[in-house]
Amino acid sequence: MRRAVRYAVLLAVLGAVLGGWLYHQHARVISDYPLKTLSIEPERLSQQHVGELVAGRSITQTLDWQGLRDRSLDLFGDQPFCVALFFANYYDRNNTGTLVVELELSESAENWSKVGNERLNVADIRNYRYESVCFEGITLAQAMAQPARVRLAALDSPPGRSVTVYLADYADERLGAETLIHRVQVRADHRNEQIGAWVILAAVVGILLAVIAGLAHASRAGTSAPAIAEQRFSRYIDWLAAQPAPTRLTPPPAAQALQCWVILAPEHSPEAAGLTAQDHPYWTATQAATRPDLPADQVLVVVLHSGVRLKPHALSQLVKGFMDCPNWQLAYTDSERLDEAGQPVGAFFKPDWSPHLLAQPDYPGGLLAMRASALPDASAQSASAAGWVALAVTAERAAIGHVAQPLVQISPNAVPPSMGSLIAPSPIPMLDKVLVSIIIPLRDKVDYLRACIESISRNTRGVAFEIIVVDNGSVQPETAAYLDKLRAQDNGPVREVLRIDEPFNWSMVNNRGAAVARGDVLLFLNNDTEVSRLDWLARLAEMALRPEVGCVGGLLLFPDQTIQHSGVVVGMNHWADHVFIGQPVDADFAPPANAFVNPTVTRNVLAVTGACLAVSRKLYEQLGGLDEDFLICGSDVAFCLEAYRSGRYNVLCAEARLLHHESKTRSREVPEIDFVMSAKTYEPWRTQAVDPFYNPNLGLFATHPQPAVRQKQ
Amino acid sequence: MMMRLSIGTMAALATALALYLAWFITPLGDGPDETGHYSYVHIIAEGDLLPLMEQSYMVSGLWGDDHAALQPAERRNYIVQHPPLYYWVAAAPHALADALGASTQVLYRIPRAVSAISFGALLLVMFSTLRNAGVNPARALPITAGLAFLPMLMQLSTTTTNDVFLFLLCALATRSLVRFVMQKSLPDAYFCAFWLTLAGGTKMTGWVFIAPAVAILLYELRAPIKVWLMHAVGVTSVALTLPIAWMLRNWVHFGTPFYREGYAELSRPALDAQTTSFLSMVADQPVMNWLFAHFHGLFGFSGYCQTPELRHLCSGAEMTQLFGFARNAFTVAVALVVLGYVVYLLRRTWQDARQSPVIPRAALLGVPLAIGLWAGVTLLFTSFIDFSSHYEISQLLLRLDRWGGELAMLGVALLAGGWAWTRWGPRHAVPPLSGLALAVLVGIAAGWLINRMFSGQTLGDLQILIMSLLPPVGLLAGALVLLQKDGQSRLALYGPLVLLFFGSVLLYQIYQGYILAGVPRGVQGRYLYPVLPLVLVALGLALERLRVHATVCLAVLVLLGLGFADAFIERVLPFYLEVRL
C-alpha cells in the first residue's frame, strides 16, 4: 500500500512537472485563440524596423477598413476591437518599460478623439511576433463607424532595453508608402478551442504517465530484460526443419581424439546402428566387452540398445560434449522416434539427470556413454547399461551429462529401454517410527477443510500422522464451530488448531504451524485438497526422508481429472508455472503425442507447489523455513530452489495423487513484492538458464510441452 | 496487472481524447471527404443497404447550414465506391440515435464515435500483436503509444471515415498472422484470412495488404503438399471472399472491377507519358516530401472549406500541413527508429552471410550491392535533375533516363556483384559485404548531400533520406527472409518488404494520377495504414533484438508526445479558428 502511494505521488509530481512545462510552452498561444484576425495582409515588398522604441518615441497608423475579409462586420461587429502589431525583440533580450497603444477615432480630418488606451509590458514582447491589444468597450462596429488610427508610444524604456516595430512597403497601391505592419482583430468567443487545448495537453500528459507507470512496473518486475522469444511447433518434423544444419566438426588427430568403443546388442550391426555413417571416424564396434588396447582416458564406452540408430553426427556431438565438459563421466542424449517408413514422427526431449525418474520408458535411453576411466573394472558387467546405472547412482550431479539433442533414432518396433527399475539412489526408509505433521492453513470455506480432513482420516495408511490446522482470520460462525469440534476431539486426527489474526502471509502461516509440529516429516497441504489413495502419505514421507531428496510434491488433479500440478518449471511463462496443467490425466503421454516425460510418473523437478509440499523436518530447519518476505506466491518455489541448491533432488511423487479444488480459471492478484522476491530468488533458471528438469528444446511459453526454437537475443 | 492497467489507461485516454475532439473541436465536414462518408452512412441508416454509385448523392444542406441547399443531382456521392462494411457499422448507432429522436447535430457526430472507438481498440490490438511477436512489454508499450501521438491518425479518429476502421481490421489480421507464424496454429491462419476479408469489405486499398498477407500465409503454411493445397485454398478463399464479391458487383454494374467515380473523365491524360517520366515527377513535384508530411498530418483536406455548404464561411488557406517543432520532432523520431532497423538489418545480413550456403550467400552479396547502387544512383540522378532545374541547365541530357538509366546501373551493379563473387568466393564474403554496405551508405549519403542544397524545409533532407532507404531496406529484407528458419526472424523482415510493395503501388498510382490530372494525386500518407501494423512488428522486433533500452523508447515517445501537443495547439486549433470566419 505504501509503495502504491509512493508510486502515485511520484507520478503526480512527474505529471505536474510535465504539465507545467507544457503549460509554459503553450499558454501564450492558447490565450491568443480568441483573437480573430480579420484583415488580409497584402504582399510585402520590403520591410524595415523603425528603431528602438525608447521613451518619448511614438508612431501613428491609420487603419484601412477595406482590407478586411468579407462579412467581417456582419459576423463580428459586436465583438471587442483589437489590433496586433509586429514587433522585434532582438535576441529575445530582457527589456524593460511600458508601451501604450491608443485608438483614436475621427469625426473630421483634423478632429481625432482618443477612445481607447491600452498598455503593453515591453518585457513580455517576443521577437518577430504579433502582439495584440484589445480595446475594452469598443466594438468592431464602433471602430469602423468612422476613420480610425492607432498610436503607439513608448513611455519609459531606456535605450538598449526596448523593442521595435516594423514598417513595410506593400504591393497594394492603395496602401502606398511605408505602413506599420499590423492586423485588425476582434476578440471572439473561442472558449471551446481553449478548453480543447487544455484537454489535449492533459491527455498527452496522461498517456505519457500511463506509459511511464507501465515501464516502471516492467523494470521493477524484471520484464524489461529481453524476452526469451520462442517459436513452438505442434509437429516434431517442423521443429526438425527449423534446426540449423549440423556443423560438421573437424576430427582432431587420432592421438588427441576420444576413441568410441561402441558396444552393440547381440542382434545389432554397425550398419544398422548407423556407425558407418558417422562423421567421427574413431570408433570401434564390438559385441564383446573387450576394451580396445588404448589408455582408459582416451576411450569412451558407448552402449547402444537394439533398435537404436545413431544419427550421422551423434558420436561427434557426444565426443564434443565430453571434450567440452571434462567433469562428465557419464552421458545420455535425447532421442527421436521413427515411423514404419523410417521417418521421424516425434522425439523424447529428456530432463537432465533425474535419478528418481523411475517408470519412464526410454530413460535414460538407448545410448549411454561413459568414460572408460570411470569403469571400476574391464568386465562386461561394467561396460553395460547396468554398469552405467550403477555408476550414475553414486556419481556427482555434475558428472552426468545430458546432450540435449535427439542424436539417436528409435525404430517403431524397438522396445524402449528403461533402466528406471535399476535405479535405487538410496534405501527406502522404514516408516514404522515416522510421524508426519500435516499443516493445513485456512480462512473460512470450512466445507473444504471438512472434506480434506475426513478424506485424510479415511484414506491414509502406512504411516502415523498428526494434523495441525492454522486458522488465519476466519470470521464465519460455521468455521468456528467446526474448529471447536476438532479441538474437542481427544483422539481425532487434528492435534492442534492455531489461531493467527494477522494479515495473510502464506509462509508465515505455515511456519507457525511447523513451529508446533512434532513430526519427522512436514507436509504443507492446502485445505481445498482431498486424498483417495491409501498410500499417498507413506509415499510422500518415504521419499522426503531419503537423504538425497529435498522437497516432495504430489500429483494434483482438478475435480474433472485434469492435471493441476505435476511439477513446476521455473522460467515457464516468464516466472514459474505448472507444466501439463489442464491436460487430462489419462491422455496419451507417449511419443509422438508428448515430447517430454509422462507427467503421471514419479520424476525429479526443480520445484513443486506449496499446495502439497513434503519435506523432512531436518531439511526444513536447515533451510530456515519458508521465506516470509513473500506474501502469497513464490515462497514454495524459492524454498524448493534452496533445497536444490543444497545438493538435493526435489521430487514429484506421482503415487501421491490428490484432488485439488483450485479453480482452473481463477485470476490471482499477486502482490508486487512477490514479483520482486521471485525475480530475486528464481535466478538463474528464470531468465539465464533453462530449468534442468525441463529441456531446452521445449517451449517455455506454453504449459503443454511442445518442441520450440528459442531466439538468440 | 500493472502493465494491463497502463495499456488500458493509455488506450482509454486516447479514445476519450478522440471522442472529445470529435464532439467539440473538429469542425463538421473537416475529415477527408467527410461529407461523402457521412452521406453514405446516412443513406444506409435510411435503409438503402447497398447504394449504387452514380445513383447515390450527397446529403444536401449538411452540417447545420441551410444557405446553400444544392440540388441533389449536382453532387453524386463518389464515396459510395467503397465497400459498405464500415458504413454498416457506423449506420447502426446513427439509426439508433435517429430512432431516439436525436438532433441533427448529434446525428452528424455519432458515426465519428466508430472511428474514435476503433482507434482505442487499435491501440490494444497493436500492443497484443507486438507481445505475440515476442516484443517485450517495455518496448511494446511505447511503440503502441507512439500511434496515439500521430496527429493524422488522431484527426481521422475524430471524423467519419473508413480509414481507422480499416487500420483496426488490418491490425487484427496482423495479430493473427503473427500468432500463426510464431505458433503455426492453423486456426490463426483462418482468423487472419477472416480479418483480411473484412478489410477488403471496408476499402479496396485493403488489397495491398491482403495480397502480401495471403502470400505470407501461404509461404508460412509448411505442410505436405495435399494438406498445403487444402489449406491454401481454404485460407485464400476466406481472405478474398468480400473483396472479390465487391469487385464482381462493380463488374456487373460498371463493367470494371475497380470502378471509381470520374473513371472515364480521368482517362484523358493531361500530360504526355512519353515525355513525363516517373523520375521527372519525383524531381519536379514534392511527392516524397508530401507523402512524409501528409502521413504526419494534413488538415482541412477536402474538408470544411471544400464543402460547398460551408465554403462561403471560410477564408484563407483551406488546408495545412504541420510545420515547425511538430514536424521536426516526428522526423527525428522516425529517423531514430529507422536507424535502429537499418543497424539490425545490416547485422542480420552480416550474420546470415557468414552462415549461409553458397547460393543464398551469392544472392546476399549481389542483391544488396545492386540495390544499394541502384538507390544511390537514382537519388544522385534525381538530385542532378533538381540541380539542373535549379540552375536552368538544359535538362535534355539528364532526361535521357526514363528507366534506361536505372536498368543500365542495375546491370552494372549485378556485374560488379558477380565479379566480386568470383573474386572473393564464398569463404570471403565478409569484405565485399562490408564494401556493399558502404556502397549503400555512400550512395545515399551523396544523394542526400546534394539534395539538401535545394530542400526548403528544416530536416526535409532527413525525410528524403528516410524514404530513400526503403528500396534497399525492403529488398534486402526480402532477400534475407528466405534464409530465416524461425518465424520470429521472418516477422522482423516482412514489414519493410510489404511496405516497399505497397509504396511502389502507391507511387505508381500517384504517377498515373499525375499523367492523367497534371498534378500529383492521392499523395496521402494515411493510405499506408493497412501495412503499418506489420511494419511496427518488424521495427519492434528489431529494437528487441538490438536490446534498445526502454528508456530510449520512452525518450522517443516523449518527443512524439511533445510534437503531438505542439501540432494541435500551435497549428491545428489555430488553423480551425483561422480558416473559419
Query: Does B505 contact A at CB distance below 8 Å?
Result: no
Three-state SS at B119: helix
| B chain contacts of residue A243, beta-carbon cutoff 8 Å | 485
- Which of A685-689, B50-54, B130-134, B334-338 is modeled with the greatest confidence? B334-338
What pLDDT, on a 0 to 100 scale, did the predictor assign at position A488? Answer: 86
Find, in chain A, the residue whose alpha carbon is nearest to that of B144: A211
Mean pLDDT over the full length of chain A: 85
Average pLDDT over residues A515-536: 92
A26 to B566: CB separation less than 8 angstroms, yes or no: yes
What pLDDT, on a 0 to 100 scale, did the predictor assign at position A420? Answer: 61
pTM value surpassing 0.80: no
B24 to A22: CB separation less than 8 angstroms, yes or no: no
B10 to A203: CB separation less than 8 angstroms, yes or no: no
B375-434 pLDDT tens trace: 655 655 555 555 444 444 444 344 444 444 455 555 566 556 655 555 555 544 544 555
Of A193, A207, A208, Cβ closest to residue B576: A193
pLDDT surpassing 50 at residue A461:
yes
What pLDDT, on a 0 to 100 scale, did the predictor assign at position A304? Answer: 86
Whose CA is closest to B387, among B376, B398, B378? Answer: B398
Average pLDDT over residues B493-508: 91
B138 to A224: CB separation less than 8 angstroms, yes or no: yes
Query: Does B555 contact A at CB distance below 8 Å?
Result: no
- Which residue would you say has higher pLDDT here, A584 or B194? B194
What pLDDT, on a 0 to 100 scale, did the predictor assign at position A633? Answer: 86
Query: Does A396 contact B at CB distance below 8 Å?
Result: no
- The three-point CA angle A538-A543-A547 to 5° equals 135
Of B21, B181, B581, Cβ closest to residue A69: B581
What pLDDT, on a 0 to 100 scale, did the predictor assign at position B399? Answer: 41
Query: How many residues are present in chain A?
Result: 713
Lowest mean pLDDT: which of A14-23, A32-41, B302-311, B378-387? B378-387
CB under 8 Å, gap of 24 or more: what pairs does B44-48 form?
B44/B84, B44/B87, B44/B88, B44/B91, B45/B91, B45/B94, B45/B95, B45/B98
What pLDDT, on a 0 to 100 scale, did the predictor assign at position B416? Answer: 62
pLDDT surpassing 70 at residue A119:
yes
Average pLDDT over residues B161-166: 96
**3-state SS of chain A: helix, strand, coil percent to 5?**
30, 30, 45
Find, in chain B, the residue whose alpha carbon is nearest to that of A224: B138
Query: Does B18 contact A at CB distance below 8 Å?
Result: no
- Which of A202-206, B357-361, B439-443 is modeled with the greatest confidence? A202-206
- The H or E element spanning position A303 is strand A299-304
Give how far A334 is from chain B: nearest CA, Å. Answer: 22
Please give the grid coordinates belonging to residue B405.
538509366
> Which candidate in A130, A211, A235, A236 is best for mutational testing of the B interface (most B CBs within 10 A)?
A211
pLDDT surpassing 70 at residue B369:
no
B568 to A232: CB separation less than 8 angstroms, yes or no: no
A69 to B315: CB separation less than 8 angstroms, yes or no: yes
Q: Percent of chain B, pLDDT > 90? A: 37
Taking the C-alpha atoms of residue A698 and residue A691, their distance in angstroms, rounded to an integer, is 11
Taking the C-alpha atoms of residue A410 and residue B200, their distance in angstroms, rounded to an integer, is 50
Give how far A234 is from chain B: nearest CA, Å. Answer: 7
Mean pLDDT over the full length of chain B: 80
pLDDT surpassing 50 at residue A712:
no
Cβ-in-10-Å burial (0-12, 13-18, 19+) of B579 comes to buried
Q: Percent of chain A, pLDDT > 90? A: 34
Of B13, B545, B550, Cβ closest to residue A203: B13
A-facing residues of B in 463-492 (CB < 8 A) are 485-489
| A chain contacts of residue B577, beta-carbon cutoff 8 Å | 33, 36, 190, 193
Average pLDDT over residues A630-639: 90
Query: Does A211 contact B at CB distance below 8 Å?
Result: yes
Rounded to 10 degrees, the C-alpha dihedral B280/B284/B289/B294 comes to -100
B545 to A713: CB separation less than 8 angstroms, yes or no: yes
Find, in chain B, the residue whose alpha carbon is nearest to that of A219: B138
Whose CA is closest to A510, among A607, A616, A434, A438? Answer: A438
| B chain contacts of residue A193, beta-carbon cutoff 8 Å | 25, 573, 576-577
Give how far A142 is from chain B: nearest CA, Å. Answer: 20
What pLDDT, on a 0 to 100 scale, did the predictor assign at position B92? Answer: 95
A648-665 pLDDT tens trace: 999 999 999 999 987 543
- Which residue would you say has higher pLDDT here, A63 or B367? A63
Query: Does A687 contact B at CB distance below 8 Å?
Result: no
A225 to B136: CB separation less than 8 angstroms, yes or no: yes
What pLDDT, on a 0 to 100 scale, did the predictor assign at position B391? Answer: 43
A223 to B138: CB separation less than 8 angstroms, yes or no: yes
B184 to A238: CB separation less than 8 angstroms, yes or no: yes
| A chain contacts of residue B560, beta-carbon cutoff 8 Å | none
B420-475 pLDDT tens trace: 555 555 544 544 555 555 555 555 555 554 444 444 556 666 777 788 778 778 88
Query: Does B557 contact A at CB distance below 8 Å?
Result: yes
A196 to B13: CB separation less than 8 angstroms, yes or no: no
User: Which residues lie below 8 Å from residue A83, measured CB to CB, with a gap of 6+?
Assistant: A63, A101, A103, A132, A133, A135, A150, A182, A183, A184, A185
What pLDDT, on a 0 to 100 scale, did the predictor assign at position B581? Answer: 60
**3-state SS of chain B: helix, strand, coil percent to 5?**
75, 0, 25
The answer to whether B208 and B499 are in contact (CB under 8 A) is no
User: Which residues lie below 8 Å from residue A195, measured CB to CB, with a gap of 6+?
Assistant: B24
DSSP E strand stretches across A340-483: 344-348, 367-371, 400-410, 435-442, 464-471
pLDDT surpassing 50 at residue A289:
yes
What pLDDT, on a 0 to 100 scale, did the predictor assign at position B411? Answer: 55
Average pLDDT over residues A334-356: 90
**How many cross-chain Cβ pairs, A to B, lie less than 8 Å apart?**
170
What pLDDT, on a 0 to 100 scale, did the predictor assign at position B330? Answer: 93
Query: Does B3 contact A at CB distance below 8 Å?
Result: yes
B283-334 pLDDT tens trace: 677 788 788 888 998 887 555 565 666 666 666 666 678 878 898 899 999 9
